[in-house]
């Protein structure tokens, strides 16, 4: 069995802590590798490496930094099939889905090729007699990113590409459950021309995360994961004087109005609800049909579609979704389905007993569908992160909107309707960060920003888009006057423009 290693100073560095965690192949349930868990000393060494490499990297002009991004896009595009296969085998999602994971990451790297433009400051000539003012964006120093298991390519790229394009050095702490792709991406950044030490990967658990949160050499923390940990990371990072952006869980609702195109809505719901086995923070996990006849029509079409979804191997191109990430998570999702039954929800499709023939040890579960779910039930309030969709019926649009708004999470929300006024009202009033109108998974493209509202986020600036360039830089504003004939004498009053 293979032992994975950290990636520090441009090379693979074996773990020295003596602590390891098994990395699985979810479709077979077999252990495929052991990942080292970094000690706080090992994390400090990685930070010291990044601190040493950063000033020289910050001095490289933005256009040359952008060229590294350009070459990285070419290299990853060349290697996408091998990376997608590795990702699928370690995460469990299908290869087609894994390609999307990599591609959506690359789109942010492509956006970062615009660093020279994005890092331009402002300039005011003759702001006052003989005075010019300009502002500039300067790198922070060293930033760190802590990422979840469910997008092992996309989310690391969303973090390290803008940070590095801004002139920062970066420490990535990927999920210890599927670290192989992030490690490979760091190697490919070196192949693309990044100097060693600018991008480092340490594999670890809470000990490594705490070491990053407490290290004075780290200026900023980007985190994506579950809400409890996001809040913890935000609180500890900011208490230590660091800048932090921490993104948490989702429970995304799809409101289906009586005038919706029902075929379109059902297609959207099965894809967004069950794709990637529901292990997406933008998955639709709640369907809200408005009015009893809408609910009936929806369920008549949805039930058979859910029953016929194809659960398959990660390597099966015809599968709709693959296994879950771990045995522990499989048990958790099964328990949620049992909980829903005990809470009184009506289980229309039960995926708990699904077994993949020949792969009985794999972490597979079939799709489940609940009707008559009530807002006080835990299966509604909590994020299940599995192939389970809850139908919560609403009498009218006002109640549907109030339901979405009352939920503690606010990542995304969608409405399906033909009525422009309802869609417009929903888009402007709903308390969620990303909204779809007849679009089920409204994950914004790279040149917009990604982030939820409410307890789906802790911090101010979103991921990617222009916000990323704000997050990974500091602004400096210079007011300058050169010796000249203009002599004002000493002025003891506060200067104004009056």
Contact set with ligand NAD (CB under 6 A): 146-151, 173, 175-176, 205-206, 209, 224-226, 229, 247-250, 281, 383, 385, 411, 452, 456
CB-based burial of residue 316 (10 Å sphere; 0-12 exposed, 13-18 middle, 19+ buried)?
Answer: middle
Q: Output 417 or 449, the one with its CB closest to ligand NAD.
A: 449
Distance, in Å, from the CA atom of 473 to the CA atom of 166, rounded to the nearest integer, reads: 7
Shortest spacing between CB 140 and ligand NAD, in angstroms = 21
Closest-CA residue to 415 (of 200, 259, 306, 245): 259
Q: Output 417 or 456, the one with its CB closest to ligand NAD.
A: 456
Shortest spacing between CB 411 and ligand NAD, in angstroms = 6
Distance, in Å, from the CA atom of 88 to the CA atom of 253, rounded to the nearest integer, reads: 27
What's the angle, vertex CA 297, arms to CA 295 and CA 303, rounded to 5? 90
Shortest spacing between CB 39 and ligand NAD, in angstroms = 15
Beta bridge partners of 133: 124, 479
Task: With beta carbons less than 8 A apart as the criterion, state whether 131 and 208 touch.
Answer: no
- Catalytic option among 112, 166, 246, 281: 281
Shortest spacing between CB 351 and ligand NAD, in angstroms = 20
**Residue of minimal Cβ distance to ligand NAD:** 225
**DSSP 3-state assignment of 311?**
strand
Shortest spacing between CB 213 and ligand NAD, in angstroms = 8
Concatenate the DSSP letters of all residues of 350-411 into one string: --TT---TT-TTS-----EEEES--TTSHHHHS---SSEEEE--BSSHHHHHHHHHHSSEES
Provide the sign of the torsion angle of the four alpha carbons 235, 236, 242, 246, taken in this order.
Answer: negative
Task: With beta carbons less than 8 A apart as the criterion, state whether 147 and 281 touch.
Answer: no
Catalytic site includes residue 166: no
Shortest spacing between CB 479 and ligand NAD, in angstroms = 39
CB-based burial of residue 32 (10 Å sphere; 0-12 exposed, 13-18 middle, 19+ buried)?
Answer: middle
Distance, in Å, from the CA atom of 366 to the CA atom of 354, rounded to the nearest integer, reads: 5
Shortest spacing between CB 373 and ligand NAD, in angstroms = 19
Task: With beta carbons less than 8 A apart as the criterion, state whether 97 and 283 touch.
Answer: no
Q: Output 62 or 156, the one with its CB closest to ligand NAD.
A: 156
- Would you state the structure tokens that stand for residue 284, as one six-digit string? 């639709």
Concatenate the DSSP letters of all residues of 124-149 into one string: EEEEETTEEEEEEEEE-SEEEEE--S
All residues at 6 or more sequence positions from 454 whose CB lies less than 8 Å from its CB, including other chains: 407, 408, 409, 410, 431
Shortest spacing between CB 457 and ligand NAD, in angstroms = 7
Q: Output 223 or 469, the one with its CB closest to ligand NAD.
A: 223
Distance, in Å, from the CA atom of 269 to the CA atom of 204, rounded to the nearest integer, reads: 36
Closest-CA residue to 330 (of 23, 26, 21, 22): 26
Q: Output 154 or 255, the one with its CB closest to ligand NAD.
A: 154
- Would you state the structure tokens that stand for residue 443, as one six-digit string? 């994950």
Beta-strand pair 169-173/30-36: unpaired
Shortest spacing between CB 113 and ligand NAD, in angstroms = 23
Q: Output 43 or 260, the one with its CB closest to ligand NAD.
A: 43
Torsion of CA 9, 191, 105, 309, to 10 degrees: -110
Residues annotated as part of the active site = 281
């Amino acid at each position: 069995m293979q032992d994975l290693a950290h990636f520090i100073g441009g090379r693979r560095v074996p773990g020295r802590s003596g602590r390891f965690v098994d990395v699985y192949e979810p479709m077979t349930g077999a252990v495929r590798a052991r990942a080292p868990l970094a000690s706080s000393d090992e994390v400090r060494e990685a930070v010291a490496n990044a601190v040493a490499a950063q000033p020289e990297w910050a001095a490289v002009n933005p256009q040359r930094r952008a060229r590294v991004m350009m070459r990285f896009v070419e290299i990853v595009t060349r290697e996408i099939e091998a990376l997608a296969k590795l990702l699928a085998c370690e995460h469990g999602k299908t290869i087609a889905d894994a390609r999307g994971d990599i591609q959506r990451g690359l789109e942010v790297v492509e956006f970062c090729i615009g660093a020279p433009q994005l890092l331009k400051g402002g300039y005011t000539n003759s702001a006052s007699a003989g005075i010019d003012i300009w502002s500039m964006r300067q790198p922070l120093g060293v930033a760190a990113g802590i990422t979840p298991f469910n997008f092992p390519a996309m989310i690391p790229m969303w973090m390290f590409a803008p940070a590095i394009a801004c002139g920062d050095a970066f420490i990535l702490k990927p999920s210890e459950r599927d670290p192989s792709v992030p490690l490979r991406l760091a190697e490919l950044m070196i192949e693309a021309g990044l100097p060693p030490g600018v991008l480092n990967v340490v594999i670890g658990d809470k000990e490594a995360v705490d070491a990053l949160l407490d290290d004075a050499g780290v200026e900023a923390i980007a985190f994506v994961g579950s809400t409890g940990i996001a809040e913890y990371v935000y609180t500890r990072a900011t208490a230590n004087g660091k800048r932090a952006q921490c993104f948490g869980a989702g429970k995304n609702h799809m409101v289906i109005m009586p005038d919706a195109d029902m075929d379109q809505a059902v297609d959207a719901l099965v894809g967004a609800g069950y794709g990637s086995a529901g292990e997406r923070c933008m998955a639709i996990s709640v369907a809200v049909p408005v009015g009893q006849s809408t609910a009936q029509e929806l369920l008549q079409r949805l039930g058979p579609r859910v029953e016929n979804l194809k659960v398959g191997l990660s390597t099966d191109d015809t599968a709709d979704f693959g296994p879950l990430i771990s045995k522990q998570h499989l048990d958790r999702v099964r328990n949620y389905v049992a909980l829903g039954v005990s809470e009184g929800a009506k289980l229309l499709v039960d995926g708990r007993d699904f077994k993949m023939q020949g792969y009985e040890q794999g972490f597979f579960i079939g799709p489940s569908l609940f009707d008559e779910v009530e807002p006080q039930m835990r299966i509604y309030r909590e994020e299940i992160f599995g192939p389970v969709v809850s139908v919560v019926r609403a009498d009218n649009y006002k109640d549907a909107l109030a339901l979405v708004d009352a939920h503690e999470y606010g990542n995304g929300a969608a409405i399906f309707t033909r009525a422009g006024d309802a869609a417009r009202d929903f888009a402007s009033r709903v308390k969620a960060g990303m909204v779809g109108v007849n679009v089920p998974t409204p994950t914004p493209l790279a040149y917009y920003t990604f982030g939820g509202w409410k307890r789906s986020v802790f911090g101010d600036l979103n991921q990617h888009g222009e916000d990323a360039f704000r997050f990974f830089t500091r602004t400096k504003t210079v007011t300058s006057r050169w010796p000249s004939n203009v002599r004002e004498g000493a002025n003891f009053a506060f200067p104004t423009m009056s």
